Structure 1
Amino acid sequence: MRSINILDEISDGKLYDIEDMVKADTCGCDGCSDCCHDVGDLVMLTPFDVYEITSYLGVDFDELVGDKIQLREDNKILLPYLKMQDKNKYCSFLNKEGRCMIHSKRPNICRMFPLGRVYKNDDFKYFLQIENCPKDNLKDVKVRDWLGIKNYYENKKFILEWHKFIKALTFRLKFMRDEKEIEEVNKIILDNFYRIKIEGDFYNEFMKCLPEVKNRLGII
């Protein structure tokens, strides 16, 4: 049987780097918010996403939990996701006009769309998702410009470290059976990466905190 490469099924078959051109520019979306509906199980918020949102809104993480953010468990790991509202399952950060209230600080996954990431050999590339954006005739744009992320390489280093950490944590929790122990692990994650007050540079604080948490959790 022929093996199927999932990227061949969902993308244009190409991989893109930060300086490459890609047909991803929606030119403002023209009022469309289709990609902001029914994606609650897809948009997992990283510590950087939460830092950006809470700093922008001037609120604490726990003030958003239950209203704008939902804690979901996957592979025994409890992490924050965007919360969908109403029977139409629209993002809780959409206003009455269907526009994003945190657009300048939107989560990384939202920022990429219709691009996605594929990880390989401690690196990642971008791919263009096909048939997911309802807008026709997307325009060419440089990946860097489409993402619009300041301090891109620091952000990329964070994303790679977070990806490796979650992967290692998933393996660690696979062998845990005690519910109280699992609950304590998740409390450590939320307290140290999401509830923590960051006074200086996010990336420096995260890189300082990460080895301490890994040591507490017995992750190499």
Structure 2
Amino acid sequence: MIRDVDLKEISDGKLYDINDMAKLGVDDCSGCHACCCGMGDSITLDPYDVYRLEKGLHKSFEMLLAENLELRVADGVILPCLKMKETSDSCTLLNDEGRCSIHAFRPGICRLFPLGRIFENNTHKYFLQVHECKKQRQTKLKIKKWLDTPELGKYESYIDKWHYFLKGITDKAGELSEEELKTANMKILQTFYVNPYDMETDFYEQFDNRLKNIL
């Protein structure tokens, strides 16, 4: 999701790479789940997020949409996002103890928080949001350890490809007719989300093939 903000107002003023240290440690959140509540439809999911959820929960994309996800318009593009409970405005994937029931395969935005990404020159760096987390940051950790993502090099490359692919769509969204934009959105959803992935084959190879076929 594209945000038009001044980094000086929301961060510590530094940009980080994956091997840099940042003050991120919060003692396993100590029972706090404030960042899992009141998020509305802002936790947008990329294809790898949904792939991990499908694999971890043994559910299809359609099943996830019926229970834990919904569709939202983000910068002119229709994408899935985490659904909040109507009664408590908390994530539907929190358990009764207020802990994440999918922590091992949680979405990228959840892994990232309270970090954000800034994209420039076909790649990205990280920044630390200083007003978002309710807990006091206690210890410094390497960014790559905080992200807790296997095959991080492949993942980082994938994030750039996905971001700039979507940016290409959103940059042109204003020039498209309503019907053309609807067609583009349906093609994105079908190609990257609805069509099932082979859970026994490398995700990134499958994504690259789908990206080549849609460009």
TM-score bracket for the superposition, by shorter chain length:
over 0.9
The equivalent of 1:102 in structure 2 is: 102
Could you tell me which runs of 5 or more consecutive residues in structure 2 were left unpaired when the two chains were aligned: none
8 Å Cα contact 1:116/1:126 also seen in 2: yes
Q: Give the structure with higher Rg (CA).
A: 1
Classify the secondary structure of the residue corresponding to 1:126.
strand
Match of 2:177 in 1: 177
* C-alpha distance in 2 between matches for 1:131 and 1:87: 26
Equivalent residue pairs, number: 210
CA offset digits 1:68-91 (Å, max 9, x no partner): 001012343111011111243101
Q: Compute the TM-score of the two structures, normalised by the length of structure 1.
A: 0.91
Q: 2: CA distance between counterparts of 1:12 and 1:153? A: 25
Structure 1 residue runs of 5 or longer lacking an equivalent are 215-220
> Offset of 1:120 from its aligned partner?
1.1
Deviates more, 1:182-191 or 1:105-114: 182-191
Q: Is the Cα contact below 8 Å between 1:75 and 1:174 reproduced in 2?
A: no
Q: TM-score normalised to the size of structure 2?
A: 0.93
Are the structure 2 counterparts of residues 96 and 189 from structure 1 closer, same or farther at C-alpha, using a change threshold of 3 Å? same
Instruction: Write out per-residue CA displacement over residues 104-154 of structure 1, whole angstroms, 9 at most, x where no aligned residue.
Output: 111111001111111111111111111211112421111111111111110
Residue 193 of structure 1 and its aligned partner are, at CA, apart by: 0.2
Whole-Å separation in 2 of the counterparts to 1:129 and 1:177: 37
Partner of 1:84: 84
After TM superposition, list the pairs within 5 Å mapping 1:152-171 onto structure 2. 152-171=152-171
Name the residue aligned to 1:40. 40
Aligned counterparts of 2:147 and 2:58: Cα–Cα separation in 1: 24
Moved over 3 A (4+): none
How large is the RMSD of aligned CA atoms in angstroms? 1.6
Structure-2 separation of matches of 1:107 and 1:40: 16
In the other structure, the counterpart of 2:206 is: 205
Q: Share of identical aligned residues, percent?
A: 40
2:203 counterpart of 1:195: no
